Amino acid sequence: MKHKILIAYFSHTGYTATLAKEIADLTGGSLFQIQPVDDYPEDYRATLDRYKEETAKHLRPAVTGSV
């Protein structure tokens, strides 16, 4: 049986996106970027504050696209 490979990734700065693309090249897998409908701020502290609130409240922010 042939397996399908999905590389689902979230990248805020672009670093993880580069690695995900490299993994896709090496494995022949399909890339899927997990992207929030409401983008995280550029500012690190602001992103951290939002992350903390989302985690504390068990929020599941909407993402664009679907697999």
Ligand X SMILES: Cc1cc2nc3c(=O)[nH]c(=O)nc-3n(C[C@H](O)[C@H](O)[C@H](O)COP(=O)(O)O)c2cc1C
Binding test (CB under 6 A) with ligand X, winner from 5, 51, 52, 59: 51
Give the one residue of 5, 16, 22, 53 binding ligand X; rule: CB under 6 A. Answer: 16
Pair type for strands 35-36 and 63-64: antiparallel
CB of 29 to ligand X, least distance (A): 17
Instruction: Enter the DSSP assignment of 42.
Output: S
Determine which residue in the list 11, 24, 29, 31 makes contact with ligand X, applying CB under 6 A. 11
**In the complex, least distance from residue 54 CB atom to ligand X, rounded to whole angstroms:** 8
To 10 degrees, the CA torsion angle through 23, 25, 26, 30? 70
